[in-house]
Amino acid sequence: MRSTEPGFGGQAFEIGAERVVAYSPRERRETQADVFAQEFLLPADLLRQRLVRDRQTPSQISGEVGLPLPFVTMQAIRALLLPPLPAPDAAEEPPPAIPLDPDQRAAAEWDERPLILDAGPGTGKTRTLVGRIEYLLGIGVQPWEILALTFSNKAAAEMRERVERLDAAAAAQMWIGTFHAFGLEILRLYAAQAGLRADFDVLDEAQGLGLLEDILPDLKLRHFQNLWDPTLELRPILRAISRAKDEMVGPAAYLAAAEAALAAAETQEAVEAAEKAVEVGGVYTAYQESLDARGAVDFGDLVGKATRVLADHAGARATVRDRHRWILVDEYQDVNAAGTALLDQIAVDGRRVWAVADPRQSIYRFRGAAPANAAGFASRYPDGQSRSLTTNYRSGEAVVKLFEHYGRDIAAAPKPPVEWHPHRGKVGYVDHLQADDLRSEANAVRDQIERFKAEGIPYDRQAILARTHLCLARFGRLLQEFDVPILYLGDLFERPEIRDLLSVVSLGADADAAGLIRVAQLPEYGATRADALVAIREADTSRKGILEVCARAEAIEGFTDEGRAGLIRLAGQLTGVNRGTTAWRMLVGYLFEDSGYLQSFVDDQSVRSQQCLVAIYQLLKFAREHADATGGRGGRRAFLERIRRIERLDDDRAFRVVPPEADGIPAVRMMTVHAAKGLEFEGVHLPQVATRYVPGKRQSVRCPAPPGMEHLAIGPTDHDAEEECLFFVALSRARNVLSITSAKRYTAKATCNPSKFLKGLGPRLPKPRPAPTVAPGTRPIEVVAVVPVDAHDGRDLLIWTKCPARYRYEVLNDLGDRSAAGAYLAFHRCVRATIDWISAQQAADEAVDPAAARQRLTKVWAERGPVDHGFEPVYRAAAETMVENAVSLLDDGGRAVDRQWHAATAGGTIGVRADRVVERPDGSIVAQVYRTGRKSKSEAQKAIWELLGEALRQAHPDRTVRLQAVYPATPEAVDIDADQGGAGLAAYADAIAGIEAGRFPPTPSGDCPTCRFYFVCTAEDSF
């Protein structure tokens, strides 16, 4: 063992430059060697006995065995959270060598002419690629002359593993990695020529967004300004920039094309699209200037910048060409324009370029993959040739002929179509079922899983593949209910056990202490929600920390006896935790030294509990990596904010992957089709193969590309082609048996037909068997006792319509709104207060000019504005524009009247308030609502307008009433028709009915990570 400093094994959660450079086999072996050395010093089975049977803690064991506490703690993490370690690689027999077939040998022994090899699923492309390397070495090519490129760190590591088995010494001298890693290598070697420092930084997407946030006040956004969350629109812009870099389109060219489109635009739609493109081009320019000023690059720069270095510097180009004379490219169908340009700089006319591709598996168009490159390879280069592998070694005949029949007619299929010979012959089968509803379909999948197991396919050799994580979560929840052992983490940070621990982490880090609501009710503490609320209110009143309040619970009235004892116990367990304590240190101490949280999972030997332990392992791993990367700066608050950002940006893919350390769990694997690419399973289940789910719906284009650059966005044709390819990948993962299922109905409101893709399977797909219908499930619903009220506040009811659980926290529990959007609310209140003042001054015949409006805003802003917020300049600039515009916008000669009204509705009495109500000289009433955001096409459908109109009609039955949405940013006042056919009032009535019935379930949405109660709540589809 090289060090006693403990560490996690396996692949790190990739951030920054780690996403570019593969975790090499040598590093994996060294890490594994460390793990086994640690195992030798302190065997996990003996450690587990001491931890579980003897109830000892790592600190006690450390003192007894004389090993460092961090060492013992790391071993404890593995012993309790992971399955037993497998035998070392050294003890494994290497797989038997399989000779190349004639097609493979012909490709492996190809000459210098450019070759693209059409390698369908299971045809042995990696074997052929390694055979190519073996052949080159055999004819005297030096190892360092071989450059092998692929598209993922995982694929690169696997390729290197295979080559090491062939010749370890040669593998160490070859360059094997991703296009991005090779681009990084070139930039490191020629940093000066690239205009970079020798120690330049590589920014990942999160860091790129951080850079954009730093310059946000200078970006002057209009179409992409979102004052509710100024960062929300930055991600689609950054992805549009990344796509431009994939195609080697620089900021100047992008902006010029956008400005030309704006000059030529004739329709309002064309003008708006061009204005958005100009805005993106402006951000692109500022972003690149900021990158250059920092001497940094982002992922999108790595290949394109390296290409330009070689194109502009003959010496560098000659050196690279001389060293890397033989080029092998895996997954060529995923090459984008920048990758193709890089290859052209390394190889003259494609000489000695040998590529493997399967256009039918092109599923990365969203990142610039261009399968047309594969189709045009042979004609792109002089003497370019194409060949095919025609034997499938993976699947039985039934599966092979199914995906062969489907794949021949999809848009990406090579012409003429290839017929694959199934080497394994007539083994396996394809099954097809249709159920009545989701629950019945999940039950059918359960039956199929058990059938496959009875036929000799164990759980861990079966996989459920789906188009989306939402589908997996819903099926996973039902399969767990049906006692099917599954291995799927889902959204790690929304799992119940992870939410428990994040709530623990938040104690003493989040000033509002909302996490105590969840932690207090853990079985170990026995407190109630009411107990937690007493403590939170005491902390707010006394201005003391929540842990301090819990520690002196004996002196505070209002707790239950069990709750008081539990909160004191909790405070004792967290003694020594302060604001600077990292999440890593807090969690390790809480889980392994102080609390009994892990006990129930450890005592339960079920797969479900093992899965929970693996999820906790992943959380600890991330907490450790975050602490190491930040040096503990920011404490737990920074850790929690990092998680919120990950979730807000939907950037949690790495955390959904089950770590290889958990491979030993005997459970059915669940994953998306994207994640399954390159994998194979004895049995595969494809659920929800129905309309609206397969193919998936095309996402709207947030950042329209300028005319002439439409290829930067995924158009309808590309989307349809990629969905076809995704289904091809799904069909071709099974070795023996494939089960396809769908349901006639997934919601109460709409029926579903089988996916149109099933028609493409023709006679190879059996007719669907009807699946048994099962009774609807009954899940316990918490009912909360609610004290009736005479009237409801319309603003509170709107909270219920968005999320009943949030209504319970904010209104019933009186915890108020202190969400992550607090800066926006402060901005909004300042604008509204200033506009109110303008309106009052004008009503009193006092002259108000823009300078006076700004002066009033300055006074209000100092009292209640977001003065310490990072985006204050953005909010302040927007506020000044709005109050200046309001001076003329509100000068309408009206007399201000009461703006608080009540409406008697079928659901009950509801209070509603307009921002401004004036009586015009003609006697009409105009009620205005200020909108500080962008003008919305759906504004007139918002329920408040029908409620406000009804309240005013009841108050002034003989008056003409007008409703207006006022946009001071534009500025304009838009008349709104209050008649929604009763839909608006019905929404309020439903809210009142739900409140009076005591129903407060969470409603998951993309806004959840900004909610103050995010770590307290658990959505229905989490498991």
DSSP H or E segment with residue 621: helix 607-630
Q: Are strands 202-203 and 297-298 parallel, antiparallel or unpaired?
A: parallel
Please state the φ and ψ torsions of residue 613, each to the nearest 5 degrees: -65, -40
DSSP string of 988-1023, one letter each residue: HHHHHHHHHTT-------TTGGGSTTTTT---TT--
The answer to whether 328 and 129 are in contact (CB under 8 A) is yes
Identify the bridge partners of residue 723 per DSSP, sorted by sequence position: none
Q: 122 among the known binding-site residues?
A: yes
Q: What is the SS3 string spanning 412-470? A: CCCCCCCCCEECCCCCCEEEEEEECCHHHHHHHHHHHHHHHHHCCCCHHHEEEEECCHH
Task: Report the distance separating Cα 395 and Cα 401, nearest Å.
Answer: 10
Task: Report the distance separating Cα 435 and Cα 690, nearest Å.
Answer: 11
Please name the residue that has the structure tokens 């696997």: 158
Cβ-based neighbour number of residue 770 at 10 Å: 11
The answer to whether 692 and 754 are in contact (CB under 8 A) is no
**Residues whose CB is less than 8 angstroms from the CB of residue 132 and which lie 6 or more positions away in sequence, other chains included:** 107, 108, 110, 328, 354
Q: 125 among the known binding-site residues?
A: yes
Please state the φ and ψ torsions of residue 634, each to the nearest 5 degrees: 90, -10
Calculate ∠ Cα 102-104-105, nearest 5°.
65
The answer to whether 338 and 305 are in contact (CB under 8 A) is no
C-alpha closest to that of 358 among 119, 130, 128, 125:
119
Q: 307 among the known binding-site residues?
A: no
DSSP H or E segment with residue 684: strand 681-686
- The one-character DSSP state at 965 is E
Alpha carbons within 13 angstroms on the beta-carbon side of residue 101 total 12
Q: Which two tokens stand for residue 696?
A: 């998936």
Please state the φ and ψ torsions of residue 484, each to the nearest 5 degrees: -90, 125
- Crossing angle of helices 397-407 and 716-731, in 10° steps, is 170
Q: Are strands 961-967 and 972-976 parallel, antiparallel or unpaired?
A: antiparallel
Identify the bridge partners of residue 278 per DSSP, sorted by sequence position: none
Q: 921 among the known binding-site residues?
A: no
Three-state DSSP at 328 gives strand
Is-cis flag, bond preceding 921, omega within 30?
no
Length of the chain in terms of residues written: 1023
Sign of the CA dihedral running 282, 284, 286, 292: negative
DSSP string of 516-549, one letter each residue: HHHHTTSTTT---HHHHHHHHHHHHHHT--HHHH
The answer to whether 930 and 966 are in contact (CB under 8 A) is yes
Enumerate the known binding-site residues for ATP.
119-126
Enumerate the known binding-site residues.
119-126
